[in-house]
Amino acid sequence: MFAAAVVLALPLAHFTSAAGDTPTPTFAPPVRLMAGETYLGAERLFPSPVFHDLNGDGLLDVVVGDLVGRLTVALRVKGADARAFADETDVMAADGKRIDFHNW
């Protein structure tokens, strides 16, 4: 099985340029995010993350969709490091069923 993990690049660190040159952006190295004790999006086909406050607590959570249409969320942990997320769980609809967008 193809295994992938969510890797996010940190914002621009700074621009470098010599006089008259076009600025070249410099990025910090990517960081693999953890959801609890495992990597976020592990063993998923082409995980695609987005930040969104899913539970209304004012913290940006990570919602991950993948190639087959599965949606999961890792909620931010209050008071912890900005990269601390709870275990990844399925996104549930109001009727209690897992939200799953079938792409096939």
Domain ranges of the chain: 7-90
pLDDT higher than threshold 50 for residue 19 = yes
Here the tokens at position 77 are 């942990």
Which residues lie across from 61 on neighbouring strands?
52
Mean pLDDT of 27-31: 87
Select from 34, 51, 39 the least CA-distant residue to 3: 39
Cα(76)–Cα(80) distance, rounded to whole angstroms?
Answer: 8
Q: State residue 39's pLDDT score.
A: 86
Instruction: Give the chain's radius of gyration (CA, Å).
Output: 17
Q: What is the pLDDT of residues 41-100, one digit of tens each?
A: 888 888 888 999 988 999 999 888 888 888 888 898 888 777 778 888 888 888 988 887
Residue 7 above 80 pLDDT? no
